[in-house]
A and B are shown apart, each in its own frame.
Chain A
Amino acid sequence: MTTAPQSPVREPAWPLSRSAIGLWVTEGVIASLGLGVGAALFAVFVPADAPAPFPVLRWLAPALVLVYAVVAIGIRPWVRFRVHRWEITGEAVHTLTGWLTRTWTLVPVSRIQTVDVTRGVLQQLFGLSTVSVLTASSQGTVQVWHLDADVAQRVADDLAHRAEQVRDQAT
């Protein structure tokens, strides 16, 4: 299945690090466990003979948690990995994110104000980093998620250096 003919704009060229799948699966497991505990508590503390909507919820809640777990652990990480793309061209940073709703973001190097590299706790486990590129616009922030840590650092240094040289003061 190729999404290329449907894309409104050009797809960035490079995929993320494969470790990102592991990270997303871990995130899905943690979220599912949290919800599962919530559903279990609900089943334990709500008495079986409670009025109208509660008996339905008693079996609906675990079912929903199960569906969520299957999607978040078994499907979403792989779909995300197929969709997510990034690319840094001569003059712009280009990303594609999302799994159902897709978002393409393009920011020119000349309008970059700051470049941040952040590493969350889980990201550190998988040796990944996020590169955030900030512009003068509150909505014009690009985040390249889950790059290999050394790649992220190189990218950030390169972008910061180039932004310094071609900075456009119009904004």
Chain B
Amino acid sequence: MGQPPRKGRRTSPRIVLVHTATFRQARQFVPAIIPLVAATGFGGGTTTVVWLVAGVTLLSLATAALSWWRFTYADGPASVVVTRGLLSRSVRTVPNDRIRGVEVEAGPLHRVFGLVRVRIDAAAGAADKDEELVIDGVSRAEGDRLRATVLTHRSTTPLAEDAEPEPEEEFARFDNRWLLYAPLLGSYLAVPFAAVGALFRLAQELPERFRPDLDGVHVSGVQALAIVLTAALVILVMGSVIGAAVVNWRFRLTRRGGSLIAARGLVTRRHTELEIDRIRGWTLAEGLGMRWVRAARVSALVTGLGDAARRGQLLPLGPRAEARALGVRLVADPGPLVRHPPAARRRRIVRALVAGLLVSAAGAVATPLLGWWWLLALGVALVVLGVPIGLGRYASLGHAAREGSFAVRSGWLVREQAVLQRRAVVGWQVRQSPFQRRAGLASVTACVGAGRGGYTAVDMAAEDVAAFAAAASEAWAEGLRPVIAPGV
């Protein structure tokens, strides 16, 4: 590249068209325009509307062009610099060694114009907040170049400019049959709900005469209920499958050199790049419904990349065996989990029962006084449900540590197993409530600089804590071992 690094590059002028069409910059003027329009009124009919549309489009074009003109970026050997701002200028400099990952995404309009949006994730010091730089609207080739250079600048062994592209190795490929798992996954079930909600809002805003006359339709009770329930079920299932398909279409995880690249998406195509050197572990999450069909999702735990729920996804949805195998390729599985002692089971059940017992007690008082028998019924139902929930929660608990990695598992609604490298641990936190002390249990949290920041082995036997910590992290954790009193 002949350009000196400090000289800013511009994004493609075609992005002005994209932003004009989406009113990206003009959107912030909307609150100002509404009272203006309300003041002048819609009196003129069609002519006013045409003027309005033309005016708004021109405004949008002008703001989009201005912000394109004022936006430059430069990727130097040491840092990425983004300069922007219409009136007040802002210059953001992100050192290359702070960059944790690069994502290249192309929305539908971007794809029409052959453009991509590059997001650069950076760790923001010790505050543990993620920052990101967005360079919106570069050509596809420029996006790939940025992705490659930003990441290779960072590595300690600089690659030659003319090095041949490294061979790709496929890690995982999405099988479209796995979309059938989607209805069992909470996050995808939300998709049809959101769609139905939006539809209802739209229907509310339609003028009266366009609204279908629902009041005139009469169906008998049971029939109507059956029809509505069936329709709702079908919509829910179809919607979640379609939602999962849109997000995960042609998901592919490949390894190129020192990084993992995940590509996915039907409408908006995303390429997320993670550096393998920064991967400290993985989590395997199985919801209640997914356990039933032996499905799971895997995410990588990347240091400095806060909560990597979306960025770190390695397999969004798939059979558990497949998901586990993928994780094991990155960080070895420490083997079968150690069950927690029976006291932990008692504690889980008691905790699951407490809410039900409290409600039952309140119900027992309220039934003779106020006639609230349903409160008592609810309490009893909660108590009855509490036992299987407590047992289920106990069944999830487990921990293991061996040869460079360790695992902890917990959760019932979503059972999550975290597998981490020994070197990932930056501290231990052991908690013991008075009840745990009586039962001889303790909860141990491994603090890590990735993912949620800490992963907990809930209610493990108190006497195993020090040994587990010592086995699951480096030599410094020996400091937790109780001193054996002399003469014992």
B-binding residues in A (CB < 8 A): 4, 6-10, 89, 91-92, 94, 100-111, 113-114, 134-140, 142, 170-171
Contacts and interface: CB of A to CB of B under 8 A. Distances in A.
B426 A137 contact: yes
Nearest to A140: B447
A7 B482 contact: yes
B386 interface: no
B388 to A, nearest CB: 28
A101 B434 contact: yes
Nearest to B438: A6
A140 B450 CA distance: 11
A107 B462 contact: no
B433 to A, nearest CB: 4
B427 interface: yes
Nearest to A13: B483
Chain B residues touching A, range: 35 or more
Given A8-B463, A105-B427, A114-B126, A140 B432 contact: no
Given A100-B433, A103-B429, A139-B429, A8 B476 contact: no
Nearest to B448: A137
A103 B437 contact: no
B447 to A, nearest CB: 3
Contacts of A139: 429, 445, 447, 452-454
Contacts of B126: 113-114, 134, 136
Interface string B334-357: 000000000000000000000000
Contacts of A10: 466, 479-483
B465 A171 contact: no
Contacts of A108: 426-427, 474, 476-477
A171 B431 CA distance: 24
Nearest to B463: A8
B449 interface: yes
A32 to B, nearest CB: 23
Interface in B289-321: 303-304
B428 interface: yes
Given A107-B447, A138-B454, 20 more contacts: A6-B462, A9-B465, A10-B483, A91-B475, A91-B476, A91-B479, A100-B433, A101-B431, A102-B432, A105-B428, A106-B429, A111-B427, A114-B126, A135-B426, A136-B128, A137-B447, A137-B448, A139-B447, A139-B452, A171-B424
Contacts of B423: 170
Interface of B: 126, 128, 280, 303-304, 423-424, 426-434, 437, 440, 442, 445, 447-450, 452-454, 462-463, 465-466, 469, 474-477, 479-483
Contacts of B437: 6, 102
A137 B433 contact: no
Given A101-B431, A135-B427, A140-B429, A106 B453 contact: no
Given A94-B479, A113-B126, A137-B448, A8 B426 contact: no
B424 A135 contact: no
B133 to A, nearest CB: 21
Given A6-B437, A104-B429, A135 B449 contact: yes
Residue with the greatest number of chain B CB neighbours at <10 A, chosen from A6, A7, A105, A140: A140
Nearest to A10: B482
B447 A9 contact: no
Residue with the greatest number of chain A CB neighbours at <10 A, chosen from B426, B476, B479: B426
Contact of B479 (A101, A106, A113): A106
Nearest to B280: A171
Given A7-B482, A114-B126, A137 B449 contact: yes
A60 to B, nearest CB: 16
A34 B454 CA distance: 36
List 9 tightest A-B contacts by C-beta distance, closest first: A136-B449, A140-B447, A139-B454, A138-B453, A140-B427, A8-B462, A108-B476, A107-B427, A137-B447
A111 B430 contact: no
Contacts of B303: 136, 171
Contacts of A140: 426-427, 429, 447-449, 453-454
Nearest to A139: B454
24 contacts: A6-B437, A6-B440, A6-B462, A8-B463, A8-B466, A8-B482, A102-B437, A104-B428, A104-B430, A105-B429, A105-B430, A106-B479, A106-B480, A107-B447, A109-B476, A135-B427, A135-B447, A136-B126, A136-B449, A137-B449, A139-B447, A139-B454, A140-B447, A171-B448
Nearest to B129: A138
Nearest to A101: B433
